[in-house]
Each structure stands twice: as structure tokens, then as C-alpha cells.
Structure 1
Amino acid sequence: MVDSIWDAGNVNGRAYQKDYSTEYLFLEPEYMIYTHYPLDKSWQLLNTPLEPEEIEALPKYRGSYFLAGMQPVSGLAKSNVVQELFGFSIPIPDDVKLSVYIVDDEGMIYENFCLVQHKESEAEIMVKFPKPGKWELRLFAGKDGTNKFVSITEVGFIAQKSSAVHFPVLYESFVEGECHLFNPLDNPLVSGEKVAFKLKLRGYEKVYALVNDTRYDLTPGPDDVFSGEITVPESSKLGIYGAKTTEARSYTGLVGYTVSR
């Protein structure tokens, strides 16, 4: 039997939406096994067939995950027991960007509890969990220069602790500019505390932190890295801004923090 509408689209309510792809049509057996489980082991077409419990533990990598040129992450299971913070890296092609978020067991989305940073040929993903319990990390992939992102996988987590802080906001210019934030990764910042800032900002010549209309210049160093220490003043927010020339009169927002007392 042949399913003639496989990968031809999907149903949205009562309407059928055409969206043809070959996401599953030409997948190798070692990739197909992540989403399709033949009852007959021989139809797995694997040199070493998997047992049912092994398949059940696999993350749900969709065909779109492999079509984007990505490979399974070693050590990552369908459900993972973690503390309040978890991080991993995924090798990705240079023209692929990732977007992620987490949802709790009731399907509520929590913003700024995931951080994706692209570094050379991999994406570094960090997740903080705002409360203990079950969570799902949802990943999407898109090509450079487009706004279309497709779902590629979901990964489950059981958090045993909660994080009192989340991540700062990385603005579009930061993400598109292949920049990297080393420190601080916690948000909010606390007023009165001395904080060391360190960022890799390719193509920028002037960078500063802005708090209460006061600028704190960061010092440029080797390999496009800017750094500096700031005692955080009382405020509601702190932003990192940059310019690509020393003569520039306008600056681009790169990273945003909130400030607590």
C-alpha cells in the first residue's frame, strides 16, 4: 500500500493546507527510525536492529532535522533528568540558524529561559528551568536570510531544581552578526554588584553599556572581544550597544538586561 498524500501537507482545523516536502520520502533507515517504528524488526533496515525500549528512548528527530544537515546529539535522550541548568551543542551547517523555547507540562511557553549562540559550525544551547517538573524543549531551524523556521525536534526534561534567573535578551543585530556573549549570562542583574562583561562582537569598533543615560565603555581586545567591569547602578534595565565605526553617531542595541535591587 502506498500513501499518496504522505508529506503533501497537513490539516488545520477543517481545512487542508498544502505543504509538499520530501521530509520523510528519502530518509536513510538510521534517520527514519527516530520517528517511525516498524513492528517487524527486519523493516528497520538497520545493520543492528533496535529493541522497542531503545526506540522508545530516542529523541524525536524529524526528517527536517536531518534535511537541515544535522546529526543526532550524543547522550541526549527522549527524556533527560537534569538540575536547574542544562547545556549541549549541535553541529550545524554554516547557513542554518536555530530557534528554541521551552514549555511546561501544561503547554505554557517560558520566554528567555533558553539561549542559543552560534559558534563557527555549531550551535550552543543552554536551558534554565524556572521550576522543578517536566519540560519540553522545542527546536526550530531556518536558513540564513529567511524568516521561515520549521520544527525539527522536541526533547523532554525532568528538572529537579529551579533557576531563580533567566537569560538576557539577544537582539536581532547580535544574533545575525554571529556575536557571542560570554558573561554575564544571568538576568536580572543586581544593582550594587560588580559585573564583568565579555562579548565577542565581530565587525564592531565601539561598544558600551548604557544605564540611566550613562555610558560605560567596554574595552576592545584581541579576536573582536570587548570586556569591562561595571558596578551596576540602581535602574530598571541595562543595555549593551555597539557601532561598527568610531565615527558613528547611532548605535545598535545588542543585548538587554533587567536590573533588580
Structure 2
Amino acid sequence: MRNKHNYNRRSRKRKQKRGKKKSRFFPLLILVGFLVFNHYANPQWRSPLEDKLTYENIISFINSFNFRITSLKSLTQEFITEFNEPIVIGDINTLDKTKFSDIDNKALAIQYSGNSASELANMLSQYATTDVEKARIIYSWITHNIAYDVVALNTFMNYNIYPDVTVKSVLDNRQTICSGYANLYQQLAQNMGLKSVIVIGYAKGVDYAVGNDNNVNHAWNGVQIDGKWYILDPTWGAGIINNDRFEKGFNDFYFATAPQNFIYTHFPENNKWQLLNTPYTRNNFDNLPTVSHHFFSNNFELVTHKNKNIIADNVVNITLKAPQNIVAITSLQSNDQEIEGQHTFIQRQGELINIKASFPERKNYQLKIFGSTPNQENNYPFILGYDINVNRQTNQEFPFTFSHFSEHNGYLESPVQKQLNPQQNNYFKLRIDNAIDVKVFDKSSNNWTTLTRYGNLFTGNVEVSRGEVIVYARFPGDRNFWGLLRYNH
């Protein structure tokens, strides 16, 4: 939201401004009262108005006059619009993180039921002496003890009524929205002798619309540690919103986040709080792909397609970089509906992950990429997303890949289409780490064809009939053959 206030004004001037707001609001009350009176005094008006004079529409009517009941910026306490000292950007790799786990446990054990920032700061100070310990214990206590108020968020988004985000209210209720988190962090930091700022701007969360720069939608913090500045977001560190409900979950990623990673999701109104030597523009920020913190915690990197919007005239080939123990999977969707068929294909070359995507129709798609190290639950978090506008349908489908293909860094050179040529030779060429034997099984004819091995490369011509064809591999110390790829006609 645009800055409508100068926060260095004296309280007398603030009172005068509040008086002006009341005088602006009084004519609106008269107008609304007039509409309500006529609704009941004139029956002929009731038919067109009986479903319209609701509380929601009155609020909407008032807002149409650009009247703000209150705003994120105006209710963010101690908001610092200017910081005149030179800003020295900190290096997160130099922070002593060895005591973070111990600090987090101590923060979790601190029980405080009051509503005073100074009292709470005194309690936290008993367990933190250095700047980094103080900054960390404040972050940890807030994220473990303050829940996100989804009801208040919805009320604000629907009716423009902002909740009480003062420190006293936050500590009384133990729930708030972003500016309440930022206020509390700011007050605790100041009481513990740390320099801190509240940063407001745009965050790619539930209420962010690309290109809509009318109102800022988020608040977070900067904190000075040993003379250098770092950024953090206690709101996002406390948990997530899922199906309109807050799910508590401590997230370490948003404490002293690397600025080059933070910019993918947070764009400050004041560019200097990007803490980047070369700041991004708003347009740069809007065009970045949608990423989650798992993208960075799993050490993914973008190699190609560094903007989120892709215009496709053919098969799209996206390349990422990630450690070789990372598994990636994809989902191609349109209007939140999964596209049926094998329209994505993932394979590896060393640390490079290549993702192919084809499209059955000319329309808009969303390509979502998930990834992490293999786990027994087969739970792979979202890491990256693209919006794809398709000008020409390709309608190519790819073979189905089994888990052993990705787990052993499989890379298929041919054939890459799901449909094989029946009653003629099809040339197979693939790499698969650690395999000692690769065979192609034609299910219809019950024929097995062994491919020729050259190290981890396997090749050969295979004549197939119509039906299902599966590529299997055998690995050292295991007599079983495991599926790699499946083709269908």
C-alpha cells in the first residue's frame, strides 16, 4: 500500500490527520444512511436493492471512494522509512550457526504469558549474548509461539478491515498477520540492543497479483549483526497456509536468507533492502519463476528458462542443475487439472536435469516441478513452477519412467516417444549408472532382447510388435531385473 503517512510527525499532527479522516468519513455515513432509509421507506426500491444493501456491499461501496479503514503501512509500528547509516551487506556464510540448534531449543522452552516486549526481551537475553544469538532467539521464539491469523487476513482482503497488530495485541492473542510479526520482531530487537528495521513490499504469497503495484502486501525485517545487515521473515518462518488454515511449522530458511534467494519471493518497496549490489526492478521480480524455499535448500539452480512465462511452439526443454542425489518429478496442469498422458519426461546428465514437456492442445499450462532426495514416503515438495502459453499443439507423449531410471541417473537418447514403430527395428540408446545388464521385453510376443553394453551405455536395434514394451535393468548384487522405461501403442 502506498505511503500515506510521515512517521516522523509529532503526535499533535497525527491527531489532526485523524480528525481530517473523520470529516471525510462523515458524508459517506450520511449517504449510506440515506440509501438504507429509502430502502425501507420506499417499497418500490426494495426489489432491485433487497439483495444489495448487505454489510459486504456497504463496505465495498465505501472503499470505492478510495477510503482505507487502515493499512498495513499505517499500522506497522516504528516503521523506518529512512536509515541514514551506510548499509553493509552481511555474508550468511560467515555467521556462526553452531549454536542455532541449542538457541532454538532454549527459545522453545521459554514460557511467557505476558504482553510486554521489554519483559520478554529480558527473558530471551538470559540465553543470548552475541548479536547473532539475539537475532536468532527472537526469530525462533516468535515463529514457535505466534500463529498466523487466517481469519484476520480474509477479513482484510474481503472488507479492507485491518486487525490490531500492536505488540500488546500480538502477545495477548498469540496470533497475527505479517505486520504483527514484523512489529514484534522489531520491538524485541530494539529492547535487546539490536538495530533492526521493518521492511514492507511485495511477497509472492496467497494475495499477490503480478503487476498489481497499487498496494504493498507484506512486511518482514532487516537486522544488523556485528555491523552487517541480514534479512529475515518471521511470518514465513512460522508455517504455511493450506486450504485456508494455518499449519504451524518452524522454517529455518527465512532467517538470514541469502539475498539472491530471497528476491525470488520478496520485493521491498525500498530497493536498498534487497541487500543486493545490483538491485532487481519490479518487472524483473514479477518475471522470476515461482520457487519455494525447497528449491534453494536442495541446491537447485536454473540453467535455462529464467523467466516464469514460456511461449511454446514445440516441445519445451528446461534444464536445471542439482546434486546427483536429488530426484525431480513433474506435473503438467491446466486450470489446476492434471493433464492425462505422458507429456513430461525427466532425465539426467551428471548434475544437469533435463525436463521435456509437450502439449496436447493450444492453451495455457502450468508446469510444476517437485524434488528432493529419495525418501520412503515418496514425498517430494514443490520447488519450481512455470506458466506456459502454447501456440501450437505438439501432442507428443513420452515413455513412462520407473523410479530406478531416475535413481540411477538414467538418460535416454532414443526412442523418446511413447509410441514405437511396430514390426520394424527401433533403435534403443540409453545410459544408466551401475547397470550390468539391460534388456527390452516385448510383452505381446514375450521376447527379450539384450542391449549391447559399453560401460554405462546400452544400445541395440529391437523389433517390436504392437502392445507394451518395457526396458529392464539388473544391478550388481541383485538377481532381479528392475523396470526403467515403459512404452505403449
**TM-score scaled by length of structure 1:** 0.87
**1:146-225 mapped onto 2 (5 Å cutoff):** 146=376, 147-211=378-442, 212-225=444-457
Report whether the alignment pairs 1:244 with 2:483: no
Amino acid at match of 2:382: S
Q: Distance in 2 between matches of 1:251 and 1:197?
A: 18
1:1-261 equivalence runs, <5 A = 1=183, 2=185, 4-13=234-243, 15-104=245-334, 106-110=335-339, 111-146=341-376, 147-211=378-442, 212-233=444-465, 235-244=466-475, 248=479, 250-259=480-489
Going from structure 1 to structure 2, the CA distance change for 1:43 and 1:201 (only over 3 Å counts) comes to: closer
Call closer, same or farther: CA 1:198–1:57 in 2, change over 3 Å: same
| Contact map agreement 2:327 2:407 (CA 8 A) in 1 | no
**Greater helix proportion:** 2
Residue 75 of structure 1, CA deviation:
4.2
Asked if the contact 2:327/2:406 (under 8 Å) is kept, the reply is no
Per-residue CA distance 1:75-122 (angstroms, 9 max, x = gap)? 421101122301122111232221111112x22112421111122112
- Aligned letter for 2:336? G
Q: Which stretch of structure 1 is more off in the superposition, 124-133 or 8-17?
A: 8-17
Cα gap change, 1:61 to 1:241, in 2 (>3 Å)? same
Structure 2: where are the runs of 5+ without partners?
1-182, 186-232
Assess if the C-alpha contact under 8 Å between 2:452 and 2:460 holds in 1. no
Shift of 1:185: 0.7
CA RMSD of aligned residues (A): 2.4
**Separation of aligned partners in 2, 1:177 and 1:39:** 46
Give aligned pairs, total: 256
Give the CA deviation at 1:4.
4.8
Identity of aligned residues (%): 20
Looking at structure 2, the residues matched to 107 and 228 of structure 1 have their Cα atoms a distance apart, in angstroms, of 41
| Alpha-carbon distance between aligned partners in 1 of 2:344 and 2:381, rounded to the nearest angstrom | 18
2 CA distance for matches of 1:182 and 1:159? 25
The amino acid that maps onto 1:19 is G
CA contact (8 A) 1:165 1:188 kept: no
Between the aligned partners of 1:216 and 1:178, the Cα distance in structure 2 is 23
Task: Render the CA deviation track for 1:184-210: whole Å, top value 9, x for unaligned.
Answer: 110122423431111223333332222
Cα–Cα, structure 1 residues 247 and 99, in superposed 2: closer, same or farther, change >3 Å? closer
Aligned counterparts of 2:476 and 2:325: Cα–Cα separation in 1: 26
Q: Which has the larger radius of gyration?
A: 2
Question: 1:213: Cα distance to partner?
Answer: 4.0
Secondary structure class of the residue paired with 1:81: strand
| Cα separation, 2, equivalents of 1:256 and 1:176 | 16
Measure the CA separation in 2 of the matches of 1:244 and 1:97. Answer: 19
SS of the residue 1:175 aligns to: helix
Contact 1:8 1:18 in 2 (8 A): yes
Distance in 2, matches of 1:69 and 1:244, equals 28
Partner residue, 2:48: none
Structure possessing the higher relative contact order (Cα contacts under 8 Å, 6 or more residues apart): 1
- Taking a change above 3 Å as real, the CA distance of residues 78 and 202 of structure 1, as seen in their structure-2 partners, is closer
Superposition TM-score, scaled by structure 2 size: 0.49
Deviation at 1:243, TM superposition (A): 2.6
Unaligned runs of 5+ in 1: none
2:306 maps to a residue whose letter is L
The answer (yes or no) to whether the contact 1:208–1:215 under 8 Å persists in 2 is no
| SS of equivalent residue, structure 2 residue 386 | strand
